């Protein structure tokens, strides 16, 4: 089903975290460790997926932790230290590696557009043995996980992609916003960081469990 939908496009722009990489449980563990260190109650997976949004700083600030100077930076630092340590235990979503290979054989050009830091992103693509599937990889120069729009425009311009022949695949409302800014079609996957109920309210093309 997913292959059938995507193979009609010449170009696919993939989000990474929560779309290809299944780091949702790790994200929850890291977040709850940070909240616990601040003596705040943990979130359930359901709660996290219903509350999560970009920019990540705004998501953190929505969790009712003390709004004093340095509190966001503290939670951010705790999260990323633990996340880096746990990342070796992550995996791609089931079937994603095979899907990337099938699309490549079909002649579809594939790219990664992520809010992850560029160097970390490149390292992970090699670790999970998917780097050869991608024509271009676009991460951020920092770990703040904010907007991907600027890099998205750079991607389209650099590779001379026709927006009408291109689809962006992601797992959050920010991915939808990026796709709209780039004027490309968007497919949202409901297995990642945001709950499918929310995704279905904001977009007409959402797939779960594919």
Fold of the 2-23+93-207 domain: Rossmann fold (3.40.50)
Q: Looking at residue 79, what is its pLDDT?
A: 80
Q: Is the pLDDT of residue 166 over 80?
A: yes
Among the listed ranges 30-34, 45-49, 204-208, which one has the minimum average pLDDT value?
30-34
Decide: residue 135, CB within 10 A, 0-12 exposed, 13-18 middle, 19+ buried.
middle
Q: Where in the chain is the domain with CATH 1.10.150?
A: 24-89
Residue 146 has pLDDT above 60, yes or no: no
Map tokens 């699309």 to a residue: 103
End-to-end Cα spacing for the chain: 7
Domain limits, CATH 3.40.50.1000, in the chain? 2-23+93-207
Closest CA to 145 of 123, 120, 176, 111: 120
pTM of the predicted protein model: 0.92
pLDDT tens for each residue of 59-86: 877 877 666 656 677 777 878 788 888 8
Q: Which CATH class is domain 24-89?
A: mainly alpha
Q: Among the residues of the chain, which ranges form H helices?
A: 2-6, 24-37, 45-51, 56-61, 71-86, 96-105, 118-127, 149-159, 173-182, 196-202
96 contact partners, CB below 8 Å, separation of at least 6: 20
Res 69: pLDDT:
58
With H, G, I as helix, E, B as strand and everything else as coil, classify residue 39.
Answer: coil
């Amino acid at each position: 089903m997913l292959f059938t939908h995507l193979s009609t496009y010449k170009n696919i722009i993939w989000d990474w975290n929560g779309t290809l990489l299944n780091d949702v449980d790790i994200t929850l563990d890291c977040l709850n460790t940070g909240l616990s260190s601040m003596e705040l109650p943990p979130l359930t997976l359901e709660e996290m997926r219903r509350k999560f949004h970009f920019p990540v700083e705004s998501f953190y600030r929505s969790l009712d932790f003390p709004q004093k100077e340095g509190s966001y930076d503290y939670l951010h630092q705790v999260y990323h230290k633990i996340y880096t340590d746990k990342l070796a235990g992550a995996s791609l979503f089931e079937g994603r590696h095979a899907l990337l290979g099938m699309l490549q054989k079909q002649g579809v050009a594939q790219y990664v557009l992520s809010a992850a830091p560029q160097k970390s992103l490149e390292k992970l693509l090699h670790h999970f043995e998917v780097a050869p599937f991608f024509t271009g990889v676009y991460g951020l120069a920092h770990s703040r996980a904010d907007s991907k729009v600027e890099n998205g425009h750079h991607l389209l311009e650099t590779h001379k992609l026709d927006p009408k022949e291109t689809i962006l695949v992601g797992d959050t409302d920010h991915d939808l916003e990026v796709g709209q800014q780039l004027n490309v079609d968007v497919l949202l996957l409901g297995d990642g960081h945001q709950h499918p109920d929310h995704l279905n309210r904001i977009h007409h093309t959402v797939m779960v469990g594919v």
